[in-house]
Structure 1
């Protein structure tokens, strides 16, 4: 019980700092892509920040593993966290650091009881839109046949891809860009499904609440009707006694 309490205490204490580090990671990831005139020293500093943020999430996973009561169960139930921690080690690719950090942030954000599904989905949409735009811009900007050259083009392409509209005016031409496109398509479909399910659940909950209230009102009316009938019977009995007297 003490180990479990220690793990819960750690997760509660580190959630906000890790989310703040995720914002720092977002800035460090975006600066070299948006600021094309950034020097080599600034780019190296941003890369160092990205690795530092990933290392903080990796250390957080290790600490939670140590504090877990059953470590095998923790690894089995947090396998996505483990994959996100190990992913950048397979190949030191910038996009892998991005994917792993997004996964780790998503896993930690889900632990927050105050974050509702709608808020989480909205944050996921904004995050995927931003990071998808930056990722495809960094890949396609230097491609000879690429047509995504500016941040505006990348944002427009990401939005149309996530919503599964796909106007076709901008499209990735590199293999890595197409992999990013597939990820955005699948994410957009998944998020759309979550939003649809959330709206449907809200309507069902409203209908069930109205049905419960209607049943309660019906029961109250029945109870009042029975009381009125009983009172009428008592009044009739009293009248009969009065007439006999």
Structure 2
């Protein structure tokens, strides 16, 4: 019997988070906890397993807040800093568990090697640095995490290739602007999807709210959650009232089970 998949939204904000440093925008000044968003990431948990999708600059805070005591691996969507900058903070997990598996496109791995060269050194490595086991993700090649199959979803973030992931009835897509028809077919049938919706106005490399809702309607899941949200989308409670019945704004610490 496969355990239910539990998804915890570790962060639901865009690259600057909400509030933005020094901003006086009304959403940044909001007292509503749902308007305070760390950088985007989710924790996938079932049975004895814990995996995260992306490992951004708020990773340490997110792990402490969610009381995560072990980590079985990291799935990367792409190499931008808000999705990768927390890699060094896997050290407590590495010290207890040993090498931490990472799953990423080869281009992303090469970027990590440049930015975190001390982690990937093979000779004269600093003894306090963590070590990772690299697993390359390739389009149209499913792979296993724990006892579950993952199907990569190939999308574009402006012109940059990004991977989304489908695990059973759950699909996660962030930093997406274009999804080709053959990739949409991989997503259809998902009970729950998570997709980015940056703001109201169009953006060169992200779905805005209108585009995200159009995409959700095409894929037709039972439920959808919006993430990678900027302050320009508006106040959480006000936007939530505007959405179709099967669509919700995700917020930090929200947990759903499939």
Larger proportion of helix: 1
TM-score range, shorter chain: under 0.3
Scaled by the length of structure 2, what TM-score is found? 0.25
Larger proportion of strand: 2
State the structure with bigger RCO (CA 8 A, min sep 6), 1 or 2: 2
